[in-house]
Structure 1
Amino acid sequence: MSQQRTGPTDGPDFPDLPEATVARLPEYLRALHHLAEEGHETVSSEGLAAAAGVNSAKLRKDLSHLGRTGTRGVGYDVTVLIDQIEHVLGLTHRRAVALVGVGNLGHALAGYAGFGNRGFRIAALFDADLGRVGEQINGLVVHHIEDLPAIVDSESISIAVIATPAHAAQHVCDRLVAAGVTSILNFAPCVLGVPEGVDVRKVDLAIELQILSFHEHRKSALTALPAVQKNAHGGAEVAS
């Protein structure tokens, strides 16, 4: 869920992509990497769309924004498309990420190996709890939040993850922004206020579960509806 997207306009050589397209590019990239691992050199729009969980018309429109069109009867070159999407997403080199808050969720995120396969590395861990400082997680030492500006600078960090309790998130966000971080992934259940030029994406697991609860509630309600039958005169009546 995108909370805010502000800042300078894209340069003349950078595609001006709709937000919905940007959100789907990582899904295409994941599917393409899987296809490459299986030995596929080309893929049709229908095949890539199915692997990414979208319809083929939407995929073709998204890729047209990148200037990519498949070859009739052949499809898309998997390697070329991977390179282009990674270039657009800025994944041609691994980006350093700071993680603030090493409680249960932060600890799990710090140990997640999948970041490395997607173009990122957790470069620094921070916490305000002195009892956590000095702890080692996945080969990284937890630093005190006071050390944040120096380490953000030395590691050239522009992206950070906030995994703190809600009451601490805004304060942490302010410190990150002051240190030069310009993109934040927020796991805290709150809305962050950020200045122009800073992007925030919010991940709230409880909200996602509430949305799933709506769908379950709707399915239950539809299942409970009485059947409607035609009567002898052609009118509708509710079956008992």
Structure 2
Amino acid sequence: MIRSAGPDEQSTRNSPEEHPPVTVPPQADSDGGAGSRTIPEASVARLALYLRMLGELAEQGTETVSSDELAAVTGVNPAKLRKDLSYIGSYGIRGVGYEVRALLHQLERVLGLNHRQAVALVGVGNLGHALAGYNGFGGRGFPVAALFDVDPDLVGIHINGIVVEHVSAIPEVCAAQGVTIGMIATPGPAAQGVCDLLVGSGVRCILNFAPVVLQVPDEVEVRKVDLAVELQVLAFHVARRHVAGHASASNGSAANGTGGNGRTRNGHASGVRTFPLVDGTTTSEGRA
């Protein structure tokens, strides 16, 4: 069955709150038992953040960390952090906190990082080339194992020691490399065909940088990264702060006896103040 992840769904794929809970597969827990736990998607995203900070603490030689300390460096509310960690069966020790390395390994297990997650990148243009050359993926447990493109000038070159293959080789190369995650950085029109090849090769998780909505089977997870949308969201916040600052300045002028139009006001003066809106238009407010 093919489903289409609509614009509203895929545009919020970067927002963890919009995802359904994730069930951690049955496996040995820290107490030696086995079981599965359902973790909210928002908590999963924060677990990845805790993992990154714990890795930095481990590199610094830190042995234990309190929930308040870990919450402070990750920018998360301490109570929320403790709740997140309780989903994976980690509660810390009163007065001591969490053992950094033990919690680090536990998070790696829960997030599936205790085994290799090979990544295939399709499209090595400007963005794709930058992604292919980024060494941070391998350091986080996501080595880029295969590169693909259709450009004759790119096929056959080496990036970070990996040869760029033609997209027609996706099925055999992905199978040989044990690819579990695909990244798509192609132009929009080519993305769906590339996605179909990846899915047909057994890839069930896709990170999509292409500006299109992909159609995928129900069992395939797609997360969309649209940098233009993220910039538009930031532009909204910039505009909102601008409006708030203008309103604050107008209120300050009013408190000093000067109206928004620069004329001196008294208790009986009348006039109209004009406020800019986020979309660039204006609205007027009468006063008596």
TM-score, scaled to structure 2: 0.76
Is the alpha carbon distance of 1:151 and 1:47 closer, same or farther for their aligned partners in structure 2, counting shifts above 3 Å?
Answer: same
Report how far residue 23 of structure 1 moved.
Answer: 1.1
Task: Identify the residue that residue 89 of structure 1 maps to in structure 2.
Answer: 111
Task: Identify the residue that residue 234 of structure 1 maps to in structure 2.
Answer: none
| RMSD of aligned alpha carbons | 2.2
Deviations 1:149-207 (A, max 9, x none): 00111111121100001111111101110111110000111211110110111111111
Taking the TM superposition and a 5 Å limit, the aligned residue runs for 1:147-166 are: 147-166=169-188
Q: Number of residue pairs matched?
A: 235
Indicate if the aligned counterparts of 1:99 and 1:106 stay in contact, CA closer than 8 A. yes
**Which of 223, 227, 231 is 1:209 aligned to?**
231
Distance 1:46 1:229 in 2: 43
Report how far residue 36 of structure 1 moved.
Answer: 0.9
Q: Which moved more, 1:64-73 or 1:82-91?
A: 64-73
Which residue type is aligned with residue 168 of structure 1?
A
Distance 1:107 1:208 in 2: 21
**Which of 13, 16, 23 is 1:2 aligned to?**
13
Task: Identify the residue that residue 48 of structure 1 maps to in structure 2.
Answer: 70
Report how far residue 131 of structure 1 moved.
Answer: 2.1
Report how far residue 2 of structure 1 moved.
Answer: 2.5
Distance 1:199 1:58 in 2: 26
Report how far residue 229 of structure 1 moved.
Answer: 8.3
**Which of 172, 185, 195 is 2:207 aligned to?**
185
Deviations 1:44-94 (A, max 9, x none): 111111111211111111001111112121111101110110000110123
Does residue 31 (structure 1) correspond to residue 53 (structure 2)? The answer is yes
Indicate if the aligned counterparts of 1:184 and 1:199 stay in contact, CA closer than 8 A. yes
Please, which runs of 5 or more residues in structure 1 have no aligned partner?
232-236
Which residue type is aligned with residue 37 of structure 1?
E
Distance 2:259 2:68 in 1: 43
Which residue type is aligned with residue 242 of structure 2?
S
Is the alpha carbon distance of 1:65 and 1:238 closer, same or farther for their aligned partners in structure 2, counting shifts above 3 Å?
Answer: farther
Report how far residue 102 of structure 1 moved.
Answer: 0.3
Which residue type is aligned with residue 2 of structure 1?
R
Is the alpha carbon distance of 1:212 and 1:59 closer, same or farther for their aligned partners in structure 2, counting shifts above 3 Å?
Answer: same
Q: Which structure's residues are more often strand, by fraction?
A: 2
Distance 2:114 2:211 in 1: 32
Please, which runs of 5 or more residues in structure 2 have no aligned partner?
1-11, 27-34, 263-288
Taking the TM superposition and a 5 Å limit, the aligned residue runs for 1:126-137 are: 126-137=148-159
Report how far residue 19 of structure 1 moved.
Answer: 0.5
Between the aligned residues of both structures, percent identity stands at 56
Which residue type is aligned with residue 39 of structure 1?
G
Bigger radius of gyration among the two: 2
Taking the TM superposition and a 5 Å limit, the aligned residue runs for 1:48-197 are: 48-197=70-219
Which residue type is aligned with residue 22 of structure 1?
V
Taking the TM superposition and a 5 Å limit, the aligned residue runs for 1:209-228 are: 209-225=231-247, 226-227=250-251
Indicate if the aligned counterparts of 2:24 and 2:39 stay in contact, CA closer than 8 A. no
Q: Which has the higher contact order (CA 8 A, sep 6+)?
A: 1
